[in-house]
Amino acid sequence: MKILILCTGNSCRSQMAHGFLQSFNPDIAVCSAGTEASGKLNPGAVKAMAEVGIDISHHTSDPVGKYLNDAWDYVITVCGGANEVCPAFTGKVKKRLHIGFDDPSHAVGTPEFIESEFRRVRHEIKEAFRKLYDEEIKAQL
Domain of 92, in residue numbers: 2-140
DSSP 88-127: P-TTTEEEEEE-----GGG--S-HHHHHHHHHHHHHHHHH
Residues 20 and 15: their CA atoms lie apart, in Å, by 9
Q: What is the pLDDT of residue 35?
A: 87
Q: What is the pLDDT of residues 87-114, one digit of tens each?
A: 655 668 899 999 999 999 999 999 999 9
Domain count within the chain: 1
Q: Is the CB of residue 45 less than 8 Å from the CB of residue 15?
A: yes
Question: In CATH, what number is assigned to the domain containing residue 49?
Answer: 3.40.50.2300
| Residues with catalytic function | 7, 79, 86
Which residue in 54, 56, 89 sits closest to 74, CA to CA? 89
Q: What is the pLDDT of residues 28-85, one digit of tens each?
A: 999 999 988 989 999 999 999 999 999 999 999 999 989 988 999 999 999 876 666 6
HSE at residue 141, side-chain half, CA atoms within 13 A, is: 15
| Full-model pTM | 0.93
